[in-house]
Amino acid sequence: MFNEKDYNTQRTKLILPEYGRNIQKMVEHAKSIEDRNERTKYAHFIVSIMGNMNPHLRDINDFKHKLWDHLALMANYEIDIDTPVPVPQSPNTEPPKIVPYNQHRLLFKYYGHVIEKIVKKAAEYSDPEKQRALVKVLAHHMKKAYLMWNKDTVSDETIFREIAEISNGKIDTSSLVLAGSREILSKANRKRIRHSDQNDDKKRRRQ
């Protein structure tokens, strides 16, 4: 797909350096794909990789919209594809804002800043029942995030220990029991498949 030899002296200036040269090359390759459907599929693949480079920003409003704007910019607005959101069609449009790098110090990257922030907030709850209900939901979400990141099994004790570390020991997780790793991964996979099917239905309706 790409040239085997790639010398520094031959390299062009990157349009969005934060994504790196390989992403720029993938965008250039996407532009060369003749079949429009295949070109669109490849563009979606590129955007998914771009999103994985910034997992801590997934909960930010318009995050995916920014990614598609960035793809259009890196393609010099010369790529004909179906996009899930409206994107600029020419360089005369105001350029998209750069996705900022993570400035937060995370104890555990696989949980992200938002989850760690909620755990710390839960530690401040004065109502034990409300705190316990929230912590149970958080613990399940954290276990799923751990499994999705590491693709391995994880014990409840590990999750509880990390909750204690994030909350500085202020949260009591004794007697809490979480769903098994296999059950959590199975639910996550079913949700991913359902989401993919919904996206396929939307694409077919647009065609």
Which pLDDT value is given to residue 71? Answer: 93
% of the chain residues with pLDDT over 90: 25
Is it the case that residue 1 has pLDDT exceeding 70?
no
| Closest by CA position to 47, among listed 28, 64, 30, 32 | 64
pLDDT in tens, 14-38: 888 888 889 999 999 999 999 999 9
Residue 8 has pLDDT above 70, yes or no: no
Which amino acid would we find at residue 17? P
Inform me whether the pLDDT recorded for 191 exceeds 50: yes
d(CA 9, CA 149): 37
Dist CA 20 CA 12 (whole Å): 12
pTM value surpassing 0.85: no
pLDDT of residue 2: 47
pLDDT of residue 102: 55
How many CB atoms are located within 10 Å of the residue 88 CB?
15
Whether the per-residue pLDDT at 41 is higher than 50: the answer is yes
- Cβ distance 140 to 173 under 8 Å? no
Instruction: Give the whole-angstrom CA distance, residue 195 versus residue 206.
Output: 17
